[in-house]
Amino acid sequence: MDTTAPGTAHGHELAHGHDHAHEELGFWRKYVFSVDHKVIGIQYAITGLLFLLFGFTLMMVMRFQLAYPGHPIPFIGSWFGPANAPGGVLLPEFYNQLGAMHGTIMVFLGVVPLAVGGFGNFVMPLQIGAPDMAFPKLNMMSYWVYFLGGVTMLASFFQTGGAAQSGWTSYPPLADIAPGQTMWLIGMVFLITSSLLGSVNFITTIVQLRAKGLSYMRLPFFVWAQFVTSFLLLLAFPPLEAAGVLQLMDRVAGTSFFLPSGLVISGKPLTVAGGGNPLLWQHLFWFLAHPEVYVLILPAMGIVAEIIANNTRKPLWGYKALVYAAVFLGFMSFIVWAHHMFMTGMGTTISAFFQTTTMIISIPSVIILTAMLLSLWGASIRFTTPMLFALAFLPMFGIGGLTGLPLGLAPSDIHLHDTYYVIGHFHYVVAPGTIFALFAGVYYWFPKATGRMMNETLGKIHFWGSFIAINFVFMPMFIQGLGGMNRRMYDGGMQYAHNAGLLKWNVVIGIAAWVLGLAQLPFIVNFFGSIKWGALADKNPWDATTLEWSAPSPPGHGNFLTEPVVYRGPYEYSVPGAATDFTPQFEPERA
């Protein structure tokens, strides 16, 4: 699609290195209730990182209990109170709360807000040469509704009965009657609303506010990834919102959407109308939750692509393949969801359908991974901290993806469903996968956001500590899962004889989790310390080619000093005959 000047009549109104003659905004309007996408992006990022840290600590408590069942949690065991952990030993109900909230917080309050709300908001408008998002006030609202959802989720720990404790998947009938679920549902309604408003904003911004010369096939792959992600959020989240309303009705209005007739609980028949279907929840939940995992991975792929291109000093291999693969992946993600439900008694024909679509969806993932790997061939690799994380993403995502295959095929899934194999699989994709990519993104775009570089030494310690430890956390889970150890057991599987030989891995995992936690300390110190003491960075410290590097570091109100114009594709590195090894998108043709 060709573009023409995005309103050259407005050219004279662009920022000129100082804020305009409109009133200086007060503290609250400038830093708290800002409508500037950069401020909102940073708000999302910091909030997301804090939630990631909180979700991590929930896991640390769980893993201790799994490594040493029946032993009191050291130091902080008494903080949980006798209702949750008498004598510091987690009650099964409390363990379940930690488990359900760990998943919920990591996915909905941590990774997606950081990957989409944080990176998407901050970087995307800069990469397309826009002054801000299409709907800045809506953007601000999206953040605060997310914040409200987060507060609701956290507050749920303090209500009677505790937080949600039926898994992040909230399957009925248990979730219909278990404590804590009502606030979880209300929190989810807030989070889903925030996501929906955000996705409308992202799509409109990418379609409408691209700079002059920035055609779709000249967009950085990061923008394409955010674009597809936004469509996934837009169309897949509403069914979960509906399901949330239905489950709320079951809990609060006495309906039986998910409660079958004749259900007996603790010897007493439920006095409800019945006639409901627990599978209905599973369908509506997974209709979102499968595309949701692509929401988790696509922005990460986008970040890795940018960093690989920049640190190999050559164009990305297969840009068109990457774009078509991402779009195809997004489309396919809507028709694979029942591979999470192979064990629910569906007929073989429809099971075959979902197995087939699941196998097909691995193709675009492989294309994307291969393109990124091939981009390394013949490259002059700069092993900067962002590049280390980006490089590690590749094999980690490879392991995560490959271990998904036996899960996507029903015959093998029968043995692996609901075992630790599944936990190993999805954590590989999200933890050393997505989260590593997000770290890479933080190191990479930190100079643009703050005008300072993060420290390379601390970065490398963070990387190597995390990379080694994280593999010791998740690799043993495959062994446990293949051995038949079930997930979501508060005692680490001790009560089952067949797990006896697998229990030692819980100790390994527990220790590795601690090392992983310690390895994050250099990152936290680096992140906050560099804001004050980092080496000063100019506009383009990485010698990169995309539009965001033409703006000041950090960009002012309106982002660009002159109207951005794009002359070429996004990855023109090492162009033959050029004076430097990078030719930015925004540099005019030399005469």
Q: Kindly identify the residues of this chain, within the stretch 164-203, that bind another protein according to CB under 8 A.
A: 196, 199-201, 203
Nearest of 318, 330, 332 to residue 217 by alpha carbon: 318
Return the SS3 of 265: strand
Q: What are the structure tokens assigned to 506, written together?
A: 């819980």
- Judged by phi (left if over 0) then psi (alpha if -120 to 50, else beta), residue 372 lies in alpha
Rounded-to-integer distance, Cα 406 and Cα 408, Å = 5
**Piece of 50-58, 204-212, 420-428, 543-551 that binds another protein (CB under 8 A):** 204-212
Among 46, 60, 91, 346, binds another protein (CB under 8 A): 346
Under the binding rule (CB under 8 A), the answer on residue 496 touching another protein is no
Q: Kindly identify the residues of this chain, within the stretch 53-112, that bind another protein according to CB under 8 A.
A: none
Q: Compute the least distance from the CB of residue 588 to another protein, in Å.
A: 22
Among 25, 60, 242, 575, binds another protein (CB under 8 A): 242
| Distance, CA of 238 to chain centre | 19
Rounded-to-integer distance, Cα 368 and Cα 390, Å = 14
Rounded-to-integer distance, Cα 316 and Cα 104, Å = 35
Under the binding rule (CB under 8 A), the answer on residue 334 touching another protein is yes
Is the separation of the CB atoms in 73 and 88 below 8 Å? yes
Q: Is the sign of the CA dihedral 474, 479, 484, 485 positive or negative?
A: negative
Rounded-to-integer distance, Cα 175 and Cα 246, Å = 12
Among 243, 295, 407, 513, binds another protein (CB under 8 A): 243
Under the binding rule (CB under 8 A), the answer on residue 284 touching another protein is yes
Among 176, 241, 306, 548, binds another protein (CB under 8 A): 241
Q: Compute the least distance from the CB of residue 117 to another protein, in Å.
A: 17
Among 279, 461, 507, 508, binds another protein (CB under 8 A): 279
Is the separation of the CB atoms in 240 and 188 below 8 Å? yes
Nearer residue to another protein within complex by CB, 340 or 462: 340
For residue 452, the cross-strand partners are 536
Q: What is the DSSP letter of 452?
A: B
Rounded-to-integer distance, Cα 492 and Cα 508, Å = 13
Among 74, 262, 267, 347, binds another protein (CB under 8 A): 347
Nearer residue to another protein within complex by CB, 290 or 452: 290
Under the binding rule (CB under 8 A), the answer on residue 246 touching another protein is yes
Residues whose CB falls within 8 Å of the CB of residue 518, separated by 6 or more in sequence, listed in order: 465
Among 280, 373, 479, 575, binds another protein (CB under 8 A): 280
Nearest of 503, 465, 464 to residue 486 by alpha carbon: 503
**Piece of 232-240, 307-315, 363-371, 386-394 that binds another protein (CB under 8 A):** 232-240
**Piece of 75-83, 132-140, 364-372, 441-449 that binds another protein (CB under 8 A):** 132-140
Nearer residue to another protein within complex by CB, 132 or 306: 132
Is the separation of the CB atoms in 35 and 442 below 8 Å? no
Residues that bind another protein (CB under 8 A): 1-4, 6-7, 10, 13-15, 20, 131-132, 134-136, 196, 199-201, 203-204, 207-209, 231, 234-239, 241-243, 245-246, 249, 253-257, 272-277, 279-280, 283-284, 287, 331, 334-335, 338, 341, 344-350, 353, 557-559
